[in-house]
């Protein structure tokens, strides 16, 4: 399905929504007031390919630490604030976005102050609905359901819109996939704001990856979602890696290689597992949107190679390298990966030149 058209907003230099690439976010787990530890985690995320980082601001000392962190951060920063509007006012002076639910910070006057502070620096507000903490009146009427989450999002959106503020993105998270997906699907036709996707408290690396792949993946396939976060307990770099893979495998990535490899079976006569790992490692830096196929024998390799930009088909002690379905080399097994990667690099170079010219 086509991606839903959404309003484009900016978190620092990162565009979200419209035709911008789907961005990957993560969150530090250090105490934000510990500037050094937080910066270290931000740098790790940057190195892993993260686009935007969110920092929790539960106390005043965390809000005050945002200025020195922002100064040295290689990534745009979103301050995550729950109830204290004063922390939002401190944060709004320095960060690139704020996550706050306007209905949680008290009087209209307070909401106005926060909105004005964000307007002054032209930074967005993310409304972050969580099924576990819906407003009392909404929970009473709808329960902690997908519709309850939608109503909560609309309530917070209206508070901002009534003040003329539309620099908004929205997230709605529940710890189970079905409710999360349903909520986003219900809200999508009702507003034009970009959506931040995620399954909250997704869990360990194993289950969190699966839940996120199902939930975020289903929505991306529906054309829903402009930025994502995969929540994995204590797994900074993995959050980014899994997030990128979900975007890639849902066919929504505008950059990066898509590697197709066979699961192997009794017909195989080569060390395919090692070859695929090497291809994955040596193509991580490539931004060109290439499809690469690495197959264990000729049974499916020829068919897959027709749809791949560059392909290898292993045989007994030797194999073929193919470009756009045409055989360009027949080589001993040990030389195949290097030759395959030469073709990949060449194609990536041409793509980069073309991209620059455009
Ligand atoms: S491509 Fe060949 S080796 Fe790989 S799973 Fe299929 S039949 Fe088996």
pLDDT digits (tens, 9 = 90+) for 340-356: 999 999 999 999 888 77
Percent of the chain whose pLDDT exceeds 70: 100
C-beta of residue 297 within 8 angstroms of C-beta of residue 317: no
**Which superfamily is assigned to 9-249 in CATH?**
Dihydropteroate synthase-like (3.20.20.20)
pLDDT of residue 199: 87
Instruction: State whether residue 15 is helix, strand or coil.
Output: strand
Which residues are within 8 A (CB) of 245 and not within 5 positions of it... i.e. 6 or more apart?
none
- Mean pLDDT across 87-109: 93
The alpha carbon of 300 and the centre of ligand 1 are apart by a number of angstroms equal to 7
Domain residue ranges of the chain, discontinuous segments joined by +: 9-249, 258-357
Answer yes or no: is the C-beta of 319 below 6 A from any ligand 1 atom: no
- Whether the per-residue pLDDT at 106 is higher than 90: the answer is no
Closest alpha carbon to 256 in 339, 348, 336: 348
Looking at residues 140-148, what average pLDDT do you find?
A: 95
Q: Which two tokens stand for residue 63?
A: 């809000």
Q: Which atom of ligand 1 is nearest to the CA of 297?
A: 2
Q: Is the CB of 270 under 6 A from ligand 1?
A: no
Mean pLDDT (whole number) for 17-43:
97
Instruction: Report the distance separating Cα 159 and Cα 300, nearest Å.
Output: 56
Dist CA 356 CA 358 (whole Å): 5
For the cut 80, the answer to whether the pLDDT of residue 201 exceeds it is no
Determine whether the shortest distance from the Cβ of 141 to ligand 1 is under 6 A. no
* Contact (Cβ atoms closer than 8 angstroms) between residue 233 and residue 208: yes
Q: What percent of the chain has a predicted confidence (pLDDT) above 90? A: 79
Of the pLDDT bands very low, low, confident and very high (cuts 50, 70, 90), residue 175 is confident
As a whole number, mean pLDDT of residues 45-70 equals 96
* Nearest partner of 195 among 216, 164, 176, judged by Cα: 216
Residue 203 binned pLDDT confidence (cut-offs 50, 70, 90): confident
Beta strands at 227-229 and 196-197: parallel, antiparallel or unpaired: parallel
pTM for this one? 0.88
Q: Helices 146-161 and 108-121 meet at what angle, rounded to 10? A: 70
Class of domain 258-357: alpha beta
- Model pLDDT, residue 278: 96
Pocket probe for ligand 1: among 260, 261, 263, 264, the residue whose CB has the most ligand atoms within 8 Å is 264
């Amino acid at each position: 399905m086509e991606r839903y058209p959404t309003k484009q907003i900016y978190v620092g230099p990162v565009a979200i929504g419209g035709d911008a690439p789907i961005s990957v976010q993560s969150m530090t787990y250090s105490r934000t007031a510990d500037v050094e530890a937080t910066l270290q985690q931000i740098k790790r995320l940057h190195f892993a390919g993260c686009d935007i980082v969110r920092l929790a601001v539960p106390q005043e000392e965390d809000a005050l630490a945002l200025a020195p962190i922002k100064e040295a951060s290689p990534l745009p920063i979103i301050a995550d604030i729950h109830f204290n509007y004063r922390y939002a006012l401190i944060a709004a002076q320095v960060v690139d976005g704020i996550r706050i639910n306007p209905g949680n910070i008290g009087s209209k006057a307070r909401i106005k102050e926060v909105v004005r502070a964000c307007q002054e620096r032209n930074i967005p507000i993310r409304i972050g609905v969580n099924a576990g903490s819906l407003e009392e009146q909404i929970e009473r009427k709808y329960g902690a359901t997908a519709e309850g989450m939608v109503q909560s999002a609309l309530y917070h959106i209206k508070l901002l819109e009534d003040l003329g503020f539309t620099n908004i993105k929205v997230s709605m998270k529940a710890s189970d996939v079905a409710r999360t997906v349903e909520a986003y699907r219900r809200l999508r036709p009702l507003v034009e704001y970009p959506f931040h996707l995620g399954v909250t408290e997704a869990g360990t690396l194993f289950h969190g990856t699966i839940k996120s792949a199902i939930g975020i993946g289903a929505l991306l396939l529906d054309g829903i979602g402009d930025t994502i976060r995969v929540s994995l307990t204590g797994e900074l770099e993995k959050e980014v890696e899994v997030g990128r893979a979900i975007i890639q495998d849902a066919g929504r990535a505008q950059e990066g290689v898509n590697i197709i490899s066979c699961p192997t079976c009794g017909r195989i006569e080569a060390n395919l597992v090692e070859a695929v790992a090497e291809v994955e490692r040596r193509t991580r830096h490539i931004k060109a949107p290439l499809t690469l196929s690495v197959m264990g024998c000729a049974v499916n390799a020829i068919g897959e190679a027709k749809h791949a930009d560059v392909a290898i088909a292993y045989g007994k002690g030797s194999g073929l390298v193919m470009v756009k379905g045409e055989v360009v080399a027949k080589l001993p097994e040990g030389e195949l990966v290097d030759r395959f990667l030469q073709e990949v690099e060449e194609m990536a170079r041409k793509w980069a030149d073309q991209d620059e010219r455009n």
